Structure 1
């Protein structure tokens, strides 16, 4: 059995110096440790501990290890199921980053004269990484924005008057001015780690083992049932847990682009439409940033390409054909002795007695007062 020395940055990016890489390793390791421990049992019942989830730097991965890649569609399913037509759902998905909740967000550039799309930026980089990079190397953050978003980006645009990095800044807060990293509230690495750990709990309710994605997500309360990502991630991880395996997220921990399918796409000159899908950040196996853009020398734009006979008028049309992925690693199959939970996740009722309620509020306040802030902000499970 072997452990890894440290967790690598997402996509094996090389932005961080040695100190930054150590802080990143600590963040991922701490996040995994917290996810293994699970939530405070006084606040959430039947959701801890998660003893089949483990830290790659502290527990060895056995020789029978297998990797499982989980993929899902980048277009937000909650928008799809609540829209009356394709045109309506594409327009709604292009209107705000806050609805792009499948760990993929995008921003569209249009020709100011014709209105045709000339470029669409896609990102799946978690905000935690950028918060750390901004703390350790603000100049690097500015340089990356100027390279990938616009040479017009200024330090004050990103850090404001206080010098504190603003993830939702003017260049990373809309679907029209750029997309450097994820900003939608649920699109975080912390959420990914928590979800994966929670999904390792096997559930046997009334004598029946839960196996379907809807049953698992409803019983374990580890995500949003209407998303493409949460139920599918949870279902895939739980399938490994039911094989009595130990499970973790493969290094480097992150969300990544899986593929862009271009079946049914046609370009004006007959060229391969996938040739305009350009990776900008992350390695070939762990890409975290793509741009879809046609070189000016070709004489046409993205808006001149058709999908199933219709011209590309929305970035969301492209998102329909993008898949996102994460990779889990499982080992020690058949060896876990962790018993299944026989009850679904429950949330204790708030105390009704005035005295007990006051004690409860006081205890929570003290917990918040004594808790040391983490060097990187982290979003908990929804």
Structure 2
């Protein structure tokens, strides 16, 4: 098979103009290359390079390629395991976007009786919106007005100097809209870095590590208490143990996998899943969704029950949503990469999160003005 000509935008969205598509390809390609290289061995031991991870635009994908979808639950597990009851965890998860750390965030709309009428979910990484804002700021405004509110003004989204503000009044809460991810670990850079780090096979004291928790503890590529990080790492490492070359499928992104409505009941007996609507992304790569009941039905989301309990929180729905990424493995059985025989060590221990961000954005620095970068290793040190 031939090399990929250029990385496409998440969800194969058509928001970019030609200039934006070039910038996006440069960003993803360079971020992958940085992840392949791994951290500076003078700062981090036993974590570089990652020879089994590759860039789709610079290396062929062999004919034996297989695709592997890796999915996990959208509800934040850290909140679940530190709460004393379902109501408490639902309240906590609905209270702040900063705790919605499974690459899925949401915002809830209620009527004047406090009944939920709509919950909107997003899994779009912030980097996409930053590139779009640099290359086509008017498009950003149009999309906010379409998906969030017609009252959005340019000054709500951009600083006086014209810099896009990812956390703005329309994208910083669980009640005033959710355009894209803002929780600090929910980035595409973190996804790419985690996947690359997990391609390192580890044989410690003569035993190859295979379980989710021992791999993440040794590789230090995320938070072991999450649903996402250990599961992604274990899924990728399972491919690596087949001595394969591995990458993330194009278009690189986080996507909605499914909504399960088992145990849900509506007042009129209609199918509860029929009120789940995808709003952005193509058929295989959905990045925005909403759960809402049309007004003509005569009831609201809050009138639907899950296991006999009315929906009072958006997080009750998040319990039943799964998010996914897709890996590619090829040249199975042909990799000559040797496993690491030790676990990752940080030198010094207080290595800043920004250590791997400059290179990630330098690729499109020739196209765009300098600006703060989104960390690609935030989940490694959280």
Aligned to 1:42: 42
State the secondary structure of the residue aligned to 1:323.
strand
Deviation string 1:251-291 (CA, Å, 9 cap, x unpaired) is 00000000000001111111111111111100111000001
CA–CA separation in structure 2 for the residues paired with 1:196 and 1:176: 32
Please show how residues 74-93 of structure 1 align to structure 2 within 5 Å. Answer: 74-93=74-93
Aligned to 1:65: 65
Aligned length: 368
CA–CA separation in structure 2 for the residues paired with 1:331 and 1:135: 36
Aligned to 2:294: 295
CA–CA separation in structure 2 for the residues paired with 1:56 and 1:138: 29
Please show how residues 216-227 of structure 1 align to structure 2 within 5 Å. Answer: 216-227=215-226
TM-score by length of 2: 0.93
Deviation string 1:124-174 (CA, Å, 9 cap, x unpaired) is 000000000011111110110010001111111111322211000000000
Please show how residues 1-382 of structure 1 align to structure 2 within 5 Å. Answer: 1-112=1-112, 114-349=113-348, 377-381=373-377, 382=380
CA–CA separation in structure 2 for the residues paired with 1:239 and 1:289: 29
CA–CA separation in structure 1 for the residues paired with 2:265 and 2:281: 28
Aligned to 1:355: none
State the secondary structure of the residue aligned to 1:35.
helix
Q: Quick check: which has more Rg, 1 or 2?
A: 1
TM-score by length of 1: 0.93
Verify the 8 A CA contact 2:94 2:315 in the aligned structure 1: yes
Aligned to 1:357: none
CA–CA separation in structure 2 for the residues paired with 1:127 and 1:230: 18
Runs of 4+ in 1 over 4 A off after TM superposition: 371-376
Kindly state the Cα deviation for residue 350 of structure 1 after the two structures are TM-superposed: 7.3
| Unmatched tracts of structure 1, length 5 or more | 352-359
Verify the 8 A CA contact 2:188 2:376 in the aligned structure 1: no
CA–CA separation in structure 2 for the residues paired with 1:148 and 1:229: 27
Deviation string 1:100-146 (CA, Å, 9 cap, x unpaired) is 0000000000002x100001010000000000001111111011001
